[in-house]
């Protein structure tokens, strides 16, 4: 490198150094923390930067199967520069564990302009998904970039982004269904993190009265549950649930004791008395507890989602009642909830792998079998009625593609779309001044192994929300950057004003609120215009599931959800 370049570099560094605003050491309730100030743009010219804090404790290291407690604090200055370990969980193969019990830490991204440090910024807190079983703030995505890195949202939308870890699997959600192990430890971790942000974010330049919580899948259901819990009173101003709500049939375990027994049996704890069972489980090696619960991938009797069993429970306290009865608690919270147009594809692919293989066929019998398992609680009448409704269109189009899409539609409806439509309707009915919006994300999957008819699969919107087409541009096309810009604009405008159309970022088209009468929803994809605001998505199916199907007599289980009752001998091998 020649001398002129060196001189330019030197100048850039010093100009940026003089003019850039940064936080430096921040005082929190636990003590001082110091993050890293990262310059943005070419050589930091322009003076924009982001302050990044990683690994701040928001609770003390937790005791197994106990509620989280406040952190006692620390001396000196905590260097908040690296992600802490993920919460203890099974690895992808489910044969080993990774992570740590000591995992209750959060991360913060604060965008800074040139002159003064930011003040009163809206705050977006992210809750990751993973079936309440897996996940962390530090998942790597395919381009070796952290999936939930907050930098793009923070700097493009001028908001503070916070991510945090919460306990998972048995350590997060095991419950005996009584006071001995009430459960919901992972939900209480989430609450601790949100409450920490409320108490401390002003010191980072955030507005504690402008907190939004946002999550996907189990994280979306968590967002929904946090808004419904009486513990959140006054904490949360707005919320976004992506592909998961509290009313999803997989979000609440109605029979936690049978799952607790399966785990107790596996680790050799007493089964007959919940006091003795709880005492024994609390002193069992946490790694053994974590490994005692596995999702069977072969030889399973029910659809895969059925085996997501260690999840939140109605504990009479944090979740005091069935979520359907708790919407009054969310009446003051602005809410967006939406789904991907093929959210069920990922799960249908496990239940009926032929849908992804061009030279394999799906027969009426295959589909009937799947329907029967999904409608187990209503017996043969439920299966027949559901089968007839979903196969009606096959009379006009009996192609394999049509049939395979029907399989995906069924799982999308049951696990994601219908519960989301119900949650949005409930929120709208309870909300007074608060707003309600809903969306359908339909930018097709980029997975090269899927057939060309596959739309937006479960989790497919995440890279766009987190700005990956900008962070790792080589992996994406210009149209992907359009989708990402659009999502970040709506999401961060909403966090700022409660209206996704109004804020710092221009949006491609007006997104009007939902009411039961207008049935408005926004279809989000690469080509958006006045036609993107649509009405009454699959309303006849909603009517079927909430009225016709519900009215059928239940033959087994409580019939509250279109899922078979849990069967611990099957689910916990």
Who contacts 383 (Cβ-Cβ below 8 Å, separation ≥6)? 368, 371, 372, 375
Nearer to ligand NAG, 123 or 314 (CB): 123
Q: Minimal distance in Å, beta carbon 513 to ligand NAG?
A: 17
Q: Minimal distance in Å, beta carbon 414 to ligand NAG?
A: 19
Q: Minimal distance in Å, beta carbon 187 to ligand NAG?
A: 25
The answer to whether 64 touches 104, Cβ cutoff 8 Å, is no
- Active site includes 258? no
Nearer to ligand NAG, 24 or 380 (CB): 380
Who contacts 483 (Cβ-Cβ below 8 Å, separation ≥6)? 443, 464, 469, 524, 525, 526
Q: Minimal distance in Å, beta carbon 382 to ligand NAG?
A: 9
End-to-end CA distance of the chain: 63
Q: Which two tokens stand for residue 210?
A: 């402008």
Q: Minimal distance in Å, beta carbon 365 to ligand NAG?
A: 12
Q: Which of 7, 6, 19, 23 has its CA nearest to residue 45?
A: 19
3-state helix/strand/coil string of 459-501:
CCCHHHHCCHHHHCHHHCCHHHHHHHHHHHHHHHHHHHHCCCC
Candidates 458, 480, 484, 568; catalytic one: 458
Q: Minimal distance in Å, beta carbon 496 to ligand NAG?
A: 5
Q: Which residues bind ligand NAG (CB under 6 A)?
A: 120, 122, 207, 209-210, 380-381, 384, 496
* Cα 53–Cα 490–Cα 335 angle in degrees, nearest 5: 90
Q: Is the dihedral of CA 415, 421, 424, 429 positive or negative?
A: negative
d(CA 360, CA 41): 50
d(CA 82, CA 297): 34
- Active site includes 136? no
1: how many CB neighbours lie within 10 A of its CB? 6
Candidates 136, 175, 217, 222; catalytic one: 217
d(CA 562, CA 225): 20
Nearer to ligand NAG, 81 or 209 (CB): 209
The answer to whether 494 touches 212, Cβ cutoff 8 Å, is yes
The answer to whether 386 touches 374, Cβ cutoff 8 Å, is yes
Candidates 315, 334, 343, 480; catalytic one: 343
Nearer to ligand NAG, 120 or 550 (CB): 120
- Active site includes 345? no
Nearer to ligand NAG, 39 or 496 (CB): 496
Nearer to ligand NAG, 211 or 337 (CB): 211
Q: Hey, which residues are catalytic here?
A: 217, 343, 458
């Amino acid at each position: 490198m020649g001398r002129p370049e060196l001189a330019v570099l030197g100048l850039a560094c010093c100009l940026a150094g003089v003019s850039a605003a940064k936080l430096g050491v921040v005082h929190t309730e636990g003590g001082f923390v110091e993050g890293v100030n990262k310059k943005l743009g070419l050589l930091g010219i322009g003076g924009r930067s982001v302050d990044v804090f990683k690994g701040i404790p928001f609770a003390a290291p937790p005791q197994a199967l106990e509620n989280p407690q406040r952190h006692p604090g620390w001396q000196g200055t905590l260097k908040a520069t690296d992600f802490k370990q993920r919460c203890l969980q099974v690895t992808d193969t489910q044969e080993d564990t990774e992570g740590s019990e000591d995992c209750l830490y959060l991360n913060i991204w604060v965008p800074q302009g040139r002159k003064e440090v930011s003040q009163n910024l809206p705050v977006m807190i992210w809750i990751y998904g993973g079936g309440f079983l897996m996940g962390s703030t530090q998942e790597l995505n395919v381009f070796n970039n952290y999936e939930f890195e907050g930098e793009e949202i923070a700097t493009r939308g001028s908001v503070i982004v916070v991510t945090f870890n919460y306990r998972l699997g048995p350590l997060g959600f095991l419950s005996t269904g009584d006071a001995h192990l009430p459960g919901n430890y992972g939900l209480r971790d989430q609450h601790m993190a949100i409450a920490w942000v409320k108490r401390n974010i002003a010191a980072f330049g955030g507005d504690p009265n402008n907190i939004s919580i946002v999550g996907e899948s189990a994280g979306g259901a968590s967002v929904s549950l946090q808004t419904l819990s009486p513990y959140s009173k006054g904490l949360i101003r707005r919320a976004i649930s992506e592909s998961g709500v509290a009313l999803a049939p997989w979000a609440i375990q109605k029979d936690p004791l049978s799952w607790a027994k399966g785990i107790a049996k596996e680790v050799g704890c007493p089964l007959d008395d919940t006091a003795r069972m709880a005492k024994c489980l609390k002193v069992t090696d946490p790694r053994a507890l974590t490994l005692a619960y596995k999702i069977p991938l072969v030889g399973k009797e029910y659809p895969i989602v059925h085996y997501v069993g260690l999840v939140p429970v109605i504990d009479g306290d944090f979740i005091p009642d069935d979520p359907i009865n708790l919407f009054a608690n969310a009446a003051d919270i602005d809410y967006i909830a939406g789904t991907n147009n093929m959210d069920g594809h990922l799960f249908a692919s496990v239940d009926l792998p032929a849908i992804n293989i061009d030279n394999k066929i799906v027969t009426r019998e295959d589909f009937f079998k799947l329907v029967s398992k999904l409608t187990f609680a209503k017996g043969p009448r439920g299966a027949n009625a559901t089968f007839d409704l979903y196969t009606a269109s096959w009379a006009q189009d009996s192609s394999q593609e049509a049939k395979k899409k029907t399989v995906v539609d069924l799982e999308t409806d049951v696990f994601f779309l219908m519960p989301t439509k119900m949650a949005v309707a409930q929120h709208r009915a309870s909300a007074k001044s608060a707003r309600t919006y809903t969306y359908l994300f339909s930018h097709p999957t980029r997975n090269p192994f899927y057939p060309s008819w596959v739309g937006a699969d479960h989790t497919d919107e995440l890279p766009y929300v987190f700005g990956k087409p900008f962070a790792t541009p080589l992996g994406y096309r210009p149209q992907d950057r359009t989708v990402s810009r659009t999502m970040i604009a709506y999401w961060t405008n909403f966090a700022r004003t409660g209206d996704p159309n109004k804020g710092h970022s221009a949006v491609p088209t007006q997104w009007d609120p939902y009411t039961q009468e207008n049935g408005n929803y926004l279809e989000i994809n690469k080509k958006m215009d006045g036609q993107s605001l649509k009405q009454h998505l699959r309303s006849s199916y909603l009517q079927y599931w909430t009225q016709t199907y519900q009215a059928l007599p239940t033959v087994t289980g409580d019939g509250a959800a279109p899922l078979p009752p849990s069967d611990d001998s099957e689910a916990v091998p």
